[in-house]
Amino acid sequence: MSASNHLLELNRLEAQEKLDAQKSHTERNRLGQFATPPPLASDILAFIKNNIPEKFKIRFMDPAFGTGAFYSALLNIFPKSRIESASGIEIDPHYGYRAEELWTQSPLNLRLEDFFASRLPSKNKPNLIVCNPPYVRHHHLSIKQKEKLQRLVGAAAMTRLNGLAGLYCYFLLYAHAWLEEDGYACWLVPSEFMDVNYGTEVKEYLLSKVTLLRVHRFDAINVQFDDALVSSAILWFKKSAPPLNHVVEFSFGGTLTKPEIIQSIPAIQLGKAAKWSRTALREGKDEENTSIRLGDLFEIKRGLATGANDFFILPSDEAHRLKLPEKFLIPILPSPRYLKQEVIEGDAKGNPLIDQKLLLLSCNLPESELKRLHPKLWDYYQIGLDRKINETYICSHRSPWYSQEFRSPAPFLCTYMGRHGAGKENPFRFILNYSKAVAANVYLLLYPKPSLGWYIKESPDSLKKIWEALGRISAGSLVAEGRVYGGGLHKLEPKELANASADSLLQSIPRLSSYVDSQEYDLFSNAASTVGEVRNKKKRAKRLRRQNSGATSKTK
Ligand SMILES: C[S@@+](CC[C@H](N)C(=O)[O-])C[C@H]1O[C@@H](n2cnc3c(N)ncnc32)[C@H](O)[C@@H]1O
């Protein structure tokens, strides 16, 4: 790095720090203002240098410029002779004015405006776009904004983005119109789009409109941004139609230039994969090899969303001190953090034998009746009104506002989110619940489907065995079904847990296979809706029959 570039970068970093400090975290969130750390920007530009032809003359562009982390790295890594032009766009003058001052001596064309309102160049379009777009979630975009962005993206990339897509998806697809044919683009984005519905159009774009060359996923444990908790990925592609039988490099962990794992995956296979992150992790099981899933055995639901846990869930002493009517109080489990046991025993009345005894206040009586019949409870709800709990999102959509959902106690629960910890390979825990306690939405509830219910009725000790077998589902396969956030926080939605393999249950309890066999009706024909699903279910039924006959003969 030349001495003058080094000085410029030091000035830029100092400016970045000061400018960030002048804004609150909420303000920076609104425009996704989380700058790229310099080592990461350098690594990205070093990677680009190794992956573009030597004679390629660069027309650089960063449409979310900030103070210019990538531009600075570009100047450090490429000789001046390789850079034909450079441009940037920045919406916020707070960063933009300072960036103009910083780069005044360099041949940078910086526009202080909205990327989506900026005039598209008619010639000499950029041929290298490097960008860390703002990570603004969809609920911060108004309906009007979304409509405008969808129109622009529709014209630029011939696709309509899902309404749940974050601003970074619009940036990525809209930039298609800006990039020169045969030009390259490198995007530092949240990896979430790889695994969720709103990412479908983004993945289709990457597989059909451009040649996707490399996808690198950072290990979520190593958050890339000190100040924003997102798990990040880098996309590297060329604007040209993908060749036949194209193969994409997928890497994971380490850095872009020195990843821990690198795999080549046929684009056709990516086109079929629902979740790309699984592909890069080499975790989880082969879908085809799984004969039975948890969703075949259990109805899986999220626990109760109360609307305000600290108001509707009370320590049992407190509920009794307030003389709240017994019939509206239901035992509820504390959050997993405070639940030491994994087997919850119940007393003679079914109350859970645990240290932290909590009760859910669940009353659906209309206000007029409530006031007349239960004045103490009425008084308590007045406190809720003072605290404006009736105006929270969930309560304001319920009538009366204090009413609660109904969930019966589930015999099995799984924690909804968790991290790998010291000596804790699996971020998720299964709980066996013999009590009548219900659970809030920090848990997933597993209710046995009818045929599994039969097995449980006939085999009194089966609950424990089933719970033990649930605990044997590999951490990898649960993690692969769910999603991961920055800092290594894993989450599982009911549908994702339902998709996890239940083979461990069949292996641990061979007798279960005969019950599963007899439930072929509800497993394989009842819920099938599309022709594809029917076909898949039939295939799975066949495999299961084969496996069951193997399992039965082995146990004889
Ligand atoms: C994640 S930061 C990246 C900044 C810088 N390129 C870097 O890598 O450090 C995103 C930047 O985009 C800017 N931005 C947000 N919305 C924009 C828009 N519609 N047009 C142009 N810039 C925008 C933000 O103000 C912020 O500076």
| pLDDT, position 457 | 83
Whether residue 467 is found in the same domain as residue 542: yes
Q: How far is the CA of 251 from the CAs of 42, 282, 486, in angstroms?
A: 18, 10, 17
Ligand 1 site, CB within 6 A: 31-36, 62, 64-66, 69-70, 89-92, 95, 114-116, 132, 134
Whether residue 337 is found in the same domain as residue 484: yes
Its sign, for the CA torsion 220, 223, 225, 228, is positive
Considering 248, 281, 314, which residue would you say is the last residue of a domain?
Answer: 281
Would you say residue 386 lies in a domain? no
Whether residue 417 is found in the same domain as residue 310: yes
Nearest to 499 by CA among 472, 524, 512, 481: 481
Cα separation, 292 vs 412, in Å, equals 18
For residue 534, pLDDT beyond 80: no
Whether residue 255 is found in the same domain as residue 306: no
Across the range 234-250, mean pLDDT stands at 93
Assess whether the previous peptide bond of 411 is cis (omega < 30° from 0).
Answer: no
Whether residue 253 is found in the same domain as residue 334: no
Would you say residue 286 lies in a domain? no
For residue 177, pLDDT beyond 90: yes
Of 171-185, 305-319, 398-412, 499-513, minimum mean pLDDT range: 499-513
Cα separation, 118 vs 106, in Å, equals 22
Whether residue 277 is found in the same domain as residue 298: no
Across the range 49-72, mean pLDDT stands at 97
Whether residue 238 is found in the same domain as residue 338: no
Whether residue 182 is found in the same domain as residue 328: no
Our count of domains for the chain comes to 2
Pairwise pLDDT comparison (54 vs 537), residue with the higher score: 54
pLDDT digits (tens, 9 = 90+) for 1-21: 677 888 899 999 999 999 999
Pairwise pLDDT comparison (7 vs 458), residue with the higher score: 7
Whether residue 203 is found in the same domain as residue 231: yes
pLDDT band per the 50, 70, 90 thresholds, residue 282? very low
pLDDT digits (tens, 9 = 90+) for 334-363: 999 999 899 999 999 999 999 999 999 999
| pLDDT, position 527 | 32
Whether residue 329 is found in the same domain as residue 472: yes
Q: In what order do the strands lie in the sheet with 329-332?
A: 313-315, 358-361, 329-332
Nearest to 504 by CA among 445, 447, 537, 547: 547
Whether residue 334 is found in the same domain as residue 276: no
> Separation of 220 CA from ligand 1 center, angstroms?
23
Long-range contacts (CB closer than 8 Å, 24 or more residues apart) made by 265-268:
267/207, 267/212, 267/242
pLDDT band per the 50, 70, 90 thresholds, residue 285? very low
Of 209-218, 268-277, 336-345, minimum mean pLDDT range: 268-277
Query: Which SS3 state, helix, strand or coil, does residue 311 take?
Result: helix
Cα separation, 414 vs 345, in Å, equals 17
> Separation of 197 CA from ligand 1 center, angstroms?
25
Nearest ligand 1 atom to alpha carbon 95: 27
| pLDDT, position 555 | 32
- Please tell me the residue having the least CA distance from ligand 1 atom 18: 114
Whether residue 351 is found in the same domain as residue 224: no
For residue 467, pLDDT beyond 90: yes
> Separation of 133 CA from ligand 1 center, angstroms?
6
Would you say residue 427 lies in a domain? yes
Residue 376 neighbours by CB under 8 Å, 6+ apart: 322, 323, 324, 325
Pairwise pLDDT comparison (513 vs 323), residue with the higher score: 323
Considering 281, 313, 347, which residue would you say is the last residue of a domain?
Answer: 281
Q: Are 485 and 195 a contacting pair, CB within 8 Å?
A: no
Pocket test for ligand 1, best of 34, 97, 100, 115 (most atoms within 8 A of CB): 115
Q: How far is the CA of 248 from the CAs of 33, 180, 269, 285, 539, in angstroms?
A: 30, 21, 10, 21, 30
DSSP codes of every residue in 403-446: -----PPPSEEEESEE--BTTB--S--EEEE-SS-B-BTTEEEE
Would you say residue 484 lies in a domain? yes
- Please tell me the residue having the least CA distance from ligand 1 atom 8: 36
**What is the Cα gyration radius of the chain?**
28
Would you say residue 346 lies in a domain? yes
Would you say residue 348 lies in a domain? yes
Domain boundaries, position 111: 3-281
pLDDT digits (tens, 9 = 90+) for 26-55: 888 888 889 999 999 999 999 999 999 999
Q: How far is the CA of 479 from the CAs of 271, 288, 444, in angstroms?
A: 21, 18, 15
> Separation of 62 CA from ligand 1 center, angstroms?
9
Nearest ligand 1 atom to alpha carbon 34: 1
- 184-190 and 211-217 as β-strands: parallel, antiparallel, unpaired? unpaired
> Separation of 30 CA from ligand 1 center, angstroms?
11
Percent of the chain past pLDDT 90, that is, above it, reads: 62
pLDDT digits (tens, 9 = 90+) for 402-417: 999 999 999 999 999 8
For residue 536, pLDDT beyond 80: no
pTM reported for the whole predicted model:
0.61
Pairwise pLDDT comparison (205 vs 527), residue with the higher score: 205
Instruction: For the beta carbon of residue 138, count every other beta carbon within 10 angstroms.
Output: 17
Across the range 421-449, mean pLDDT stands at 89
| pLDDT, position 1 | 67
Mean pLDDT of the chain: 86
| pLDDT, position 515 | 62
Would you say residue 388 lies in a domain? no
pLDDT band per the 50, 70, 90 thresholds, residue 507? confident
Nearest ligand 1 atom to alpha carbon 31: 15
For residue 552, pLDDT beyond 60: no
> Separation of 142 CA from ligand 1 center, angstroms?
19
Nearest ligand 1 atom to alpha carbon 66: 27
| pLDDT, position 460 | 73
For residue 298, pLDDT beyond 70: yes
Pairwise pLDDT comparison (549 vs 360), residue with the higher score: 360
> Separation of 227 CA from ligand 1 center, angstroms?
15
Of 121-130, 299-308, 342-351, 419-428, minimum mean pLDDT range: 419-428
Considering 260, 281, 302, which residue would you say is the last residue of a domain?
Answer: 281
> Separation of 32 CA from ligand 1 center, angstroms?
7
Would you say residue 396 lies in a domain? no
For residue 249, pLDDT beyond 60: yes
CATH of the domain at 9: 3.40.50.150
For residue 531, pLDDT beyond 70: no
